[in-house]
Structure 1
Amino acid sequence: MSPSNVVDVHTFLDARPIGRQQWLVIGLGLLILVLDGFDTMMMGFIAPALVQDWGLQRHVLGPLMMSGLVGLSLGSLFAGPLADRFGRRVVIIASVAFFGFWSLACALAQDLTMLTVARLLTGVGLGATMPNITTLLAECAPLRRRSTLVTSTWCGFAFGGAMGGVLSEYLIEDYGWQAVFVAGGLMPLVLALVLAMLLPESLRYMIQAKQPQARIVAAINALAPGAANLHTRVVSSEHSGLVAVRQGVGSLVRGPYRLGTLMIWVAMFAGFLNLYLLSNWLPITAQSAGMSLSQAAIIGAVLQLGGAVGDFSVGLKMDRWEQNNVVSLMFAGSAVVSVLIALWADGALALYVLVFCLGYCMMSANAGCFALAANFYPTAIRATGVSWVFGIGRTGAILGAGAGAVMMGWNWSITQIFLFLCVPALGAVIAIQCKRLVASRALGAVSG
């Protein structure tokens, strides 16, 4: 291929088929999110064994459950601006190593306070990793396949959570709950070394950051050998019809981005509240309702497996139909299934099927919100925008984990818990429709 005089990175990526380097980013992103899901969801599976081993009451686990979520929120809020300033690659690698180290530290905890602090710091690393890998995936993907690739990669998070349920059952039985933390720490540390060798930087970010011409040309040629040389003028027409935005959190709530940002925050808050209430407390609630420890672990894994299928499929729908309507439909579906579980689930098999359907709707709605955010913001503020969607969502997760502790203290039944889940889900439907009807009209045709 002879080099072009001008390369528009925006159209260059969107016009080409997905190449080897882009598949590499997708594969590494999938691995990262598998380990993120494993580490993030492991406390829900460890909790019953921890209660038994340390002789604790269920409701005293509230601060422990919330500590990791506080860390996730803090990591998300700080990491996005750092990635917009210093690059996606370096923040991702450092974050994976950080949460791996502190997961190992959790295995050494001797009391609830030590474990709570270690989980807080593990959460900071996890919170910094997830929004930035989402941003990197979005910027490497062609626009016509962006939602599909972002959300299908997020099935790795659900798969990791399900893997935590299956693996923790065997590790706890044979080696104790500490072994789950050891596994959750060693795997990210190994992956961080792999990322340091293989993970590329976002080409869109390199243009935005005005990095040296030689590096940009090398990145272009890694995607299409011979497409550029040192004399090639490299530009980006992304969002060319919009007023330029400055980096920083303030840009998210200014001008045409204000209402859309606020509505995505509301939806993500509601979606994470429901997800983390269930992920942290469903196994232990199922056990208190008469299920065995093994059955309780399985029902938690079924929720995650349903989410994995939903994450894979929702992006296909979003790339084919109106994105906001697809996400709204998933939130509405989670409300309907919650009612079915509360009122008509009779027997273990029926519960497993309905919990699978709930995971499908609930997690695909959350993954859809990530894709909405990645499509909504331009490169200059994309990492900040996506990370703040995560961070605000994590405040909902914190409330969900705390609400679960209160529900345990009040001895709420499974029926009461699942009826409660309808309220946040329906609030998310309203928020996404407000974004579609008002914010999109104000912003115009934002793409890329």
Structure 2
Amino acid sequence: MTTISTIDRPRLTLWLCFAVAVLDGYDLQAMAIAGPALRAAMQLDPRQLGFAFSASLIGLALGAAYGGRLADRIGRKQVLIVSLLALGMMTVATALATDFRWLVTLRILAGLAMGGVMPNLIAIAASASRGERATTKVAAMICGMPAGGVVASMVGHALIARYGWQGLFVLGGVLTVVIIPALLRWLAEPGAEQLGLTAARTAAASWRESLFGERRALPTLLLWVLFIFTLAIFSTVAGWVPTLVVDKGLPAAVGYQSLLAINVGGIAGALILSSSCDRWGVRPVMLATYAAMAISLWLFSSAATIGAVVSLAGLVGFWMLGAQCALYGISPQIYPAANCSTGVGSAVAAGRIGSILGPVIAGYMMGQGTTANQLIFIMAPLAVLAGAVLLALAASTGNALRAGAH
């Protein structure tokens, strides 16, 4: 009879990483779902609510930059587990917040902890893939994040109706802590020898050498720009979809249906696009992805009926979230195994800068008279520009992103 002790350890590691990604995605979506209730309970104005939404992303950007580097020095599993414990505690503590100041403080701290989780999930999953269809396996694991968003969307309103907005955060925090014993027992992590470096050499490698040494300066900078563009597009579109729906004269409920369609489409896109990258190579697949993203954004901005809006939202999510998840799978291929967390962490941090700046710039443009339709339309040329950056990245990495299998 098959038992947990006889299950393939790398496969179990990937499933555990997926479960953690689900919890991360739940936490990120929970704030948006709790927003209306929080606004009423704490009497927040739109500016305060917007800053509260961004607080965890600010923390995540800072945490990812340092969490990945710390993990390459002392161990990915250790940093992942400590970060998860902190995330669970800060998420539960969010339920105790009574005013705007404490709410923002606790969400920034939760974001810092989350920053220690994401790059290490990706690095551990990449190691567990053992070079076999690595892009597919890492992207499939990251699918846990939009899946967590779907779960939060499905249970969030019921939890708030019964337990208040606090119930949403208590559930997420408790589940995050509960998974830690399973990670301690079964999560695999390669040692320094398996990574091809001694522990001393790993610790001695500087942050600059990890990111920019051995002709990695240009690929690293291009990867950062690509993450910034891709996540700026996603955060802007996701943030303004409800407004877009209302501007079109459709019921507000269609906005929530569209967000759900974006997440569901994104899961399908991540699985299909990452598998295609492993089969045919990153450059042709991702170039086609960004071109299709631009076209779907243009169509979405001009859609007028409920069916068209929801269907095209799913199509936008397929290309937009699919590209984002595929990038998480591609990133570890640019860096040596021993410095993978540092490289991926810096890319995640750069992407979160895009997540923060995108909605801020969009808000300014809306204040200057830009409509939500126009805002979504403007994202199409940005997707084309991201495709050009991807082309430059592929050229700068030699064969690393051209091979059809990894």
TM-score for the superposition, normalised by structure 2? 0.90
Within the candidate set 109, 114, 136, 2:102 is matched to: 114
Over 3 Å counting, the alpha-carbon distance change for 1:39 and 1:289 in structure 2 is: farther
Q: Name 1:252's counterpart in structure 2.
A: 211
Deviations 1:54-94 (A, max 9, x none): 44443432321221111110110001111111111111111
Q: Does 1:333 align with 2:321?
A: no
Q: Say whether residues 1:396 and 2:354 are aligned partners.
A: yes
Separation in structure 1 between the aligned mates of residue 369 and residue 35 of structure 2, nearest angstrom:
17
Kept in 1: contact 2:283–2:391 (CA 8 A): yes
Deviation of 1:260 (Å): 1.2
How do 1:88-167 residues align onto structure 2 when only pairs under 5 Å count?
88-167=76-155
2:398 alignment partner, SS class: helix
Counterparts of 1:62-77 in structure 2, within 5 Å, are 62-77=50-65
**% identical equivalent positions:** 28
User: Which amino acid in 1 is paired with 2:89?
Assistant: F
Give CA-to-partner distance per residue, 1:295-330, whole Å, 9 cap, x none.
433322221111111111222101101213322322
Aligned match of 2:185: 197
Instruction: Indicate conservation of the 8 Å contact 2:149/2:263, yes or no.
Output: yes
Judged with a 3 Å threshold, the aligned counterparts in structure 2 of structure 1 residues 172 and 443 are, in CA distance, closer, same or farther, namely: closer
8 Å CA contact 1:62–1:401 kept in 2: the answer is: no
* DSSP-derived class of the 1:143 partner: coil
Secondary structure of the structure 1 residue equivalent to 2:189: coil
RMSD value, Cα: 2.7
Describe the SS at the equivalent of 1:350.
helix
Give CA deviations for 1:120-160 in whole Å, capped at 9, x if unaligned.
01111111101111101111113231111111111111111
SS across alignment from 1:200: coil
Aligned to 2:310: 352
Could you tell me how far apart the structure 2 residues matched to 1:294 and 1:205 are? 54
Q: Is the 8 A contact 2:127 2:189 kept in 1?
A: no
Residue 89 of structure 1 aligns to a residue in which SS? helix
The answer to whether structure 1 residue 424 and structure 2 residue 391 are counterparts is no
Q: What's the CA shift for 1:261?
A: 1.1
Q: After alignment, is 301-310 or 71-80 more displaced? A: 301-310
- In 2, Cα distance between the equivalents of 1:272 and 1:292? 27
One-letter identity of the residue aligned with 1:21: R
Query: After superposition, where does 1:29-428 map in structure 2 within 5 Å?
Result: 29-203=17-191, 206-208=194-196, 210=198, 246-283=205-242, 286=245, 294-343=253-302, 345-407=303-365, 409-410=367-368, 412-428=370-386
User: Using the alignment, how far apart are the partners of 1:440 and 1:93 within structure 2?
Assistant: 35
Q: Measure how far apart 1:293 and its partner are.
A: 5.8
Among 2, 5, 9, the alignment partner of 1:21 is 9
The structure with the larger Rg is 1
Q: Confirm or deny: 8 A CA contact 2:282 2:401 kept in the other structure.
A: no
- Report the count of equivalent residues: 397
1:205 to partner: Cα distance: 6.2
The 1:293/1:204 distance shift into structure 2, 3 A limit, reads farther
Relative to structure 1, the CA distance from residue 158 to residue 68 in structure 2 (aligned partners, 3 Å threshold; closer, same or farther) is: same
For normalisation by structure 1, the TM-score amounts to: 0.82
What one-letter code is carried by the residue in structure 1 that aligns with 2:212? Answer: V
Amino acid in structure 1 at the alignment position of 2:304: D
| Structure 1: gaps spanning 5 or more residues | 1-18, 212-244
Return the letter of the residue paired with 2:379.
L
Q: Tell me if structure 2 keeps the 8 A contact 1:44–1:283.
A: no
CA drift at 1:423? 3.4
Per the alignment, do residues 54 and 416 of structure 1 end up closer, same or farther by CA in structure 2, a change over 3 Å counting?
A: farther
Q: What SS does the corresponding residue of 1:144 show, helix, strand or coil?
A: coil
User: Structure 1, residues 2-26: CA drift from partner, whole Å, max 9, x if none?
Assistant: xxxxxxxxxxxxxxxxx71011101
Aligned-pair CA distance for 1:286: 4.0
SS of structure 2 residue aligned to 1:421: helix
Comparing 308-317 and 324-333, the one that deviates more: 324-333
Q: Distance in 2 between matches of 1:444 and 1:327?
A: 11
Q: Per-residue deviation at 1:289? A: 6.1
Distance (Å, rounded) in 1 between the aligned partners of 2:132 and 2:210: 26
